[in-house]
Structure formats: C-alpha cells, structure tokens
Amino acid sequence: RVDNATVVAADIETDNGVIHVIDQVVLP
C-alpha cells in the first residue's frame, strides 16, 4: 500500500518511463 492507496499494478513500463497505477485518487 502506498499513501493509503492500494497499488494495483506497480512499475508499469511505458513509453515515458515507469509509472505506478493505483485504484483510487491519492489526496494530500
């Protein structure tokens, strides 16, 4: 879990690099 959001698919390779996909919006 990252910032109270469940990581659905971490470290997805994209054309722009690596991103982290989460199943909810992370609010500050």
**What does the alpha-carbon distance between residue 10 and residue 16 come to, in Å, rounded to a whole number?**
15
On the question of pLDDT at 26 being above 60, the answer is: yes
Helix (H, G, I), strand (E, B) or coil at 3: coil
Residue 23's pLDDT band (boundaries 50, 70, 90)?
Answer: low
Q: How confident is the model at residue 6 (pLDDT cuts 50, 70, 90)?
A: low
Cα–Cα nearest to 23, from 10, 6, 11: 6
Task: Give the pLDDT mean for 5-27.
Answer: 62
